Structure 1
């Protein structure tokens, strides 16, 4: 594939837990990526920034993969109810389902003037 056919640059900031599956799926669909370690400015959590050049007609496909693999999703976890220290009932307290939001990807799409590999 001629590198000059790439007209869009995607920079996607992916949570560390999601990057492996995301990159694997991008690769399976013919997208080659460069990964950079990064840290979020607000939560100070480790992220991976994925850079990829894509033809304009493949942009939607790449964005859909990013959304499916690294987008926000809800998951139910089970958490124990907090009881005062030393409570005789602490061991008998059931777990309570709590819905939490996981994942999330921030995507930047830019026009790409030129992409070359040497």
Structure 2
């Protein structure tokens, strides 16, 4: 048995959750915050059999798209004033961890 931890953008989480449920996966959804952009994201926890891992990962990948956004950078000093210059960064997509589950019990 495996535990899949998938970290994805809030914008993609509902689609991924719906797609996984539609295909028979049970999902626990956690609200989390990223460390780099300090933006909200979602972590999905999915327990599944070993042979279902590739299918689940494919569904997550299908529903998680990458996009670019402008985010403010650290303030810089220019001509006697402080400025925040936006920087273009790539967001979205998914980070997926697959862990072995030694024991599972549902009570």
List runs of 5+ in structure 2 lacking aligned partners.
Answer: 69-88
Helix, strand or coil: the match of 1:58?
helix
Higher strand share: 2
Cα displacement string for residues 69-118 of structure 1 (whole angstroms, at most 9, x for unaligned residues)? 014368xxxxxxxxxxxxxxxxxxxxxxxxx9552110011101122211
Q: Count the aligned residue pairs.
A: 87
TM-score, normalised relative to structure 1 = 0.68
| Coordinate RMSD, CA, aligned | 1.7
> Which residue of 32, 36, 39 corresponds with 1:42?
36
State the SS of the aligned residue for 2:5.
strand
Deviations, residues 35-79 of structure 1 (Å, cap 9, x unaligned): 1110000001101100011101111000000110014368xxxxx
1:62 to 56, 66, 71: 56
Are positions 1:25 and 2:19 aligned together? yes
Query: After superposition, where does 1:1-118 map in structure 2 within 5 Å?
Result: 7-72=1-66, 103-118=92-107
- Match of 1:48, SS state, is strand
- Determine which structure has more spread, i.e. the larger CA radius of gyration: 1
Structure 1 unaligned residues grouped into runs of 5+: 1-6, 75-99
